Amino acid sequence: MNQNPWLLDREQVSRLLHSHIQARLGELMEFSTFLDERGYPMPATAIGRDGYPLDSISIMSLLSHLVRVFHLQELGTEDNFLRRRTLGEWSDLLLEGWAAHLDKITFFTSGSTGTAKPMTHQRDALLQETRVLADIFQDTGRIVAMVPAHHIYGFLFTLLLPKVLGVEVVEGRLMSAADLNRCLEPSDLVVSHPFQWRYLSDMLPSVRSGVFGVTSTAPCPPETFVAVKARNISRLVEVYGSSETGGLGWREDPDAPFTLMEHWTANGDGEDPPLQRTLPDGETLTMPSPDLLAWQDDRHFRVLGRRDGAVQVAGHNVYPNAIALIIAEHPEVKACTVRLMRPEEGDRLKAFVVPVDPHDSHGLGARLHRWCTEQLRPQERPGSLTFGPSLPVGEMGKHADWNIT
């Protein structure tokens, strides 16, 4: 194993910066323009001008974001980024900081229809988790990255883990299913998330023997496990955690509980004990679990549900209650509730809307569609709108589900 995996190489840092820039620009551009034949960003790409389409204000905003992520203010070198304007030059500056002082990094929660929260992780804690992952995935020959590098999941699995294991990273996010299948080799570890795994299970033929995978960011449905295994994926590991905690547990069987990672313990008895992490220096950190957990013993647990009400759509955390409030701001809407579709209905959100005037709502569906397009991100927009005189409730008077009509 590499004993100093924190010192990423220039290509890895370029991938990380490209991922941050791509996330900031969203859907404004075709990013493959700035990638080489391997899918890696080209160092000569300009920041602004004829490169990434950033004007001076956008560059300052991006730099402000990167200062927070990489704690550049502690080095006092952030002004150097304004004097150099290529991806390679920015990568070199970050590498210099990493070698000199930078020993932590900040990630952000998804923030869909809510405020994205910064979560700072120390270098030694991230490396501690990565070495646990290296034991779980010790037979890895290459890592095939199907997730962005700027989230903690992608950072751990497509930057730090390959550095610890000393293996190559194949950038797979722009590959078609056919190209991905031709690329896969025995002992490849495919890093993806449940929504994408379901897509791959539909599109991939049977893969070469010895390919295995990991999934995280959302619960992986049992049927997705079955479908992936039917494509000859020899092993699919589900990792449970959050931006706040990093990885907490893992399992290979959707019917089995998660095994708590060795540096975590359940701190106390009761139905909802906090979690305690033992850091590499022997210090401990206590925090609540991100979800409600049911403990089978002190090392095994099941996930009952999220505390914050988030659900996953296309690999993104979205918040139905917050989305319902935004839809209810439309002047023709009296009330609204939003839920995730049932599996037989689809894989998006659905909304039940009570119009202000139920007798004069002609064309409201089209007007709400435009409203949602303007106010919400694609993954937040309901795929179905149902209208009625009052929100659906059950026999106990509590909010109830409804059938899509």
Average pLDDT over residues 17-32: 77
pLDDT score of 211: 96
pLDDT score of 232: 93
Average pLDDT over residues 117-145: 95
How far is 387 from 405, CA to CA, in rounded Å? Answer: 9
Contact 10, 43 (CB under 8 A): yes
Domain ranges of the chain: 1-102, 103-308, 319-387
Average pLDDT over residues 148-155: 94
Quote the mean pLDDT of the chain: 88
pLDDT score of 2: 56
pLDDT score of 390: 85
Sign for the CA dihedral angle at 147, 149, 152, 154 comes to positive
How far is 354 from 392, CA to CA, in rounded Å? Answer: 10
Domain 103-308 fold is Rossmann fold (3.40.50)
The superfamily (CATH) of domain 319-387 is: ANL, C-terminal domain (3.30.300.30)
What residues contact residue 275 under an 8 Å CB cut-off, 6+ apart?
245, 248, 264, 265, 266, 267, 286, 287, 288, 289
Same fold, 103-308 and 319-387: no
In this model, does residue 368 exceed pLDDT 50? yes
Q: CATH number of the domain at 1-102, out of 2.60.120, 1.10.1660, 3.30.70, 1.10.1200?
A: 1.10.1200
